[in-house]
Amino acid sequence: MLEEIPFYGYRKVFRELVGMGAEATEKQVRRIMRRAGLQAVYPGKRTSISANEHRKSPYLLRNKAIWLANQVWATDIT
């Protein structure tokens, strides 16, 4: 059953089992799925992919020698 629906997590599997009349708890379903090596397939986070329309600012302090306190200040408004 689970090979046909790889996007089902333990909650949906639990609901399917209860709908079929099986006696199980969510914790039991979670434990069985973990022992069997079954995981839901879902898209991951895309945190490292930048949008093409956003301009990247150059790092202006590269190869600069900073030797005094208060010589360089920085701020971030994000």
Residue-by-residue pLDDT tens, the chain, 78 positions: 556 777 788 888 888 888 999 898 989 988 988 888 888 888 888 888 888 888 888 888 999 999 999 999 988 887
* CB burial of residue 29 (10 Å; 0-12, 13-18, 19+): buried
8 Cβ contact list (under 8 Å, min separation 6): 2, 16, 40
Tell me, rounded to whole angstroms, the distance of Cα 56 from its chain centroid: 24
Which pTM value belongs to this model?
0.48
Q: Are residues 7 and 42 in contact, defined by beta-carbon separation less than 8 angstroms? A: yes
Q: Where are the beta strands (DSSP E) in the chain?
A: none
